[in-house]
Amino acid sequence: MNKTFKGIFGGLAAIFFAGTVQAQTTVSIENKEDTPVISKHIYGHFAEHLGRSIYDGLYVGEDSPIPNTDGVRNDLIKALRELQIPNLRWPGGCFADTYHWKDGIGPKEDRPTLVNAWWGGVTENNSFGTHDFLNLCEKLGAEPYLAANLGSGTVEEFTDWIQYVNHSEGSPMAKLRKENGREEPWNVKYWGVGNEMWGCGGNMTPEFYANLYRQYATFMTSWENENNLYRIASGANQDDYHWTEVLMRDIPKHLIEGVALHSYSFVEWDKKGSATDFNEEEYFSTMKTALWMQELIDKHTDIMDKYDPENEIDLIVDEWGGWYEVEEGTNPGFLYQQNTMRDAMIAGATLNIFNNESERVKMANLAQTVNVLQAVALTEGENMLLTPTYHVMKMYTVHHDSQLLPVDFESPDYTYNGESLPAISVSASKKDGKVAISLVNIDAKKENKVKINLEALDVENMTATILTSEKLQDHNTFENTEKISPEQFKDFKLRKGELQVTLPPFSVVVLESE
């Protein structure tokens, strides 16, 4: 990890006077010109054929009474546009390695069905397929990220899909696309070469998968723009560092652009607990696994640096987020859960980590977009609500494609039952002369005071937004969709280049210079 970021998770600076007053934390921000750009693709999303993610979530069908465009909910299109989502990953997840793309093209009434064996055993009718997804990405202004089938597919099937979406004319697949109503290619850049090959993708060894990847990647080409495909290898599950070691060692650089990493936040893997009815012990455990992301990135990056000191291969965290038990009365295979201030803490702290590690982390995908896991939106019939996670990601749009400003500080501790976590996380950036600073205080009970020296950045005025609530368990409901929403924040002072901020317990604050 870059030394300038060492203070984010290593501090012991919390000092209490009479048990009530907490010492002020000092944050240094460097105005450097040679820092990486925080890629907007760090703020990507993920929509799998899982539960009510696609059907009854994104897609309600052209004949639905719910206002829609080509079957996709208009309210959701509007919300995702406002979120400025940079990329969207589809169709899985585990579903990807059972998906055969040709089943999802052509007249909808002629498409075959299949049983979604991974998620609830429901029948998939393939009414939402390649055209629907890629046309949706165009409406959203988002880059499509297609996860292709290695587990049960073939090289020919994979390369036909690339030809179908990327070749303009003169090939069998381009002709088929035109027959299905799409004249111009979509020019899809981002491709996942399988998903979770260590698990639902085939329970493979890394050595076996590395060889299989080499085979598939060899035949990947976009024909007309030969070098514009971005190939992402199915990467490690959390701390499986051997998996990353093998992929970096055995896959030639000319065949790979990115290596994936998956990590979820939970109380315990076998006892995930309720999304809304949780205590501080469960909250602390969840945040512990969320903040573990820093160590995971550090150690996987160390391995990548050994084989790729030129930093040519990117780390892609294409599944992350909170994972709890499903809401009572819902299908266990649908992974439908509510979204509280705990999830806002996961989102804010994790995105700060990604921002600060943007030299190697170039893309990430929150799991998932709607009605599944840590969703940014939930739907119920004609109604839709935006979650605390949505609001955090919208507040953080100020960092999209901005230049990273390195931060250095020692965080006070958030202590529970003899264990401690860093209470504060910070990331900062600049773009077009404006400075943005995002701060998170995960402490469940205590406010934290922060002092930031901005003299080197020539900042005179700032505005701020905060997301917080009365209880960690608070969440938006269809009866009260605005219980948690961003508000103007005024508990800060900027005088002579010094910014002083008071962060309430479990809050996210974003400041931007005027």
Spatial contact of 35 and 404, defined as CB atoms under 8 Å apart: yes
Reading phi first (left if > 0) and then psi (alpha if -120 to 50, else beta), residue 460 is in alpha
Q: Could you check whether the bond before residue 473 is cis, i.e. omega within 30 degrees of 0?
A: no
- For 138-179, how does the pLDDT look when each residue is reduced to its tens digit (9 = 90+)? 999 999 999 999 999 999 999 999 999 999 988 999 999 999
Lowest mean pLDDT among 192-201, 223-232, 289-298: 223-232
Residue 386: phi and psi, rounded to 5, are: -100, 135
3-class SS of residue 79: helix
Report the chain's terminal Cα–Cα distance, integer Å.
32
Which residues contact residue 73 at a Cβ distance below 8 angstroms, ignoring those fewer than 6 apart? 58, 59, 60, 66, 67, 379, 384
Residue 92: phi and psi, rounded to 5, are: -170, 180
Task: List 419's β-bridge partners, or say none.
Answer: 416
Give the chain's radius of gyration (CA, Å). 23
State the pLDDT at residue 222. Answer: 67
DSSP state of 129: -
- Strands of the sheet containing 402-405, edge to edge, are 37-38, 402-405, 424-431, 434-441, 507-513, 462-467, 487-488
State the pLDDT at residue 225. Answer: 56
pTM, to two decimals: 0.93
Residue 262: phi and psi, rounded to 5, are: -120, 135
Helices (H), 308-369: 341-356
Would you state the structure tokens that stand for residue 112, as one six-digit string? 């075959």
| Mean pLDDT, residues 305-328 taken together | 97
State the pLDDT at residue 33. Answer: 86
Say whether 319 is catalytic: yes
- For 427-439, how does the pLDDT look when each residue is reduced to its tens digit (9 = 90+)? 999 999 999 999 9
pLDDT range class, residue 227, cuts 50, 70, 90: low
Spatial contact of 403 and 353, defined as CB atoms under 8 Å apart: no
Distance CA 268, CA 271 (A): 5
Residue 34, CA atoms < 13 Å, CB-side half-sphere: 0
- For 440-498, how does the pLDDT look when each residue is reduced to its tens digit (9 = 90+)? 999 999 999 999 999 889 898 999 999 999 999 999 999 999 999 999 999 999 998 89
- Annotated catalytic residue within 48, 124, 196, 512: 196
Homologous superfamily (CATH) of 37-404 is Glycosidases (3.20.20.80)
Lowest mean pLDDT among 9-13, 56-60, 487-491, 496-500: 9-13
Distance CA 250, CA 216 (A): 14
For the cut 80, the answer to whether the pLDDT of residue 60 exceeds it is yes
Task: List 427's β-bridge partners, or say none.
Answer: 438
Which amino acid type is present at position 190? Y
State the pLDDT at residue 20. Answer: 40
Share of the chain above pLDDT 90, in %: 90
- For 350-365, how does the pLDDT look when each residue is reduced to its tens digit (9 = 90+)? 999 999 999 999 999 9
Spatial contact of 82 and 124, defined as CB atoms under 8 Å apart: no
**Helical (H) or strand (E) element with 281:** helix 280-307
For the cut 80, the answer to whether the pLDDT of residue 18 exceeds it is no
For the cut 90, the answer to whether the pLDDT of residue 241 exceeds it is yes
| Mean pLDDT, residues 319-347 taken together | 97
Residue 285: phi and psi, rounded to 5, are: -65, -40
Share of the chain above pLDDT 70, in %: 94
- For 88-102, how does the pLDDT look when each residue is reduced to its tens digit (9 = 90+)? 999 999 999 999 999
- Indicate the average pLDDT of the chain: 93
Cα three-residue angle 11-459-428, rounded to 5 degrees = 40
pLDDT range class, residue 3, cuts 50, 70, 90: very low
- Annotated catalytic residue within 319, 357, 410, 512: 319
pLDDT range class, residue 8, cuts 50, 70, 90: very low
Would you state the structure tokens that stand for residue 286, as one six-digit string? 């969840």
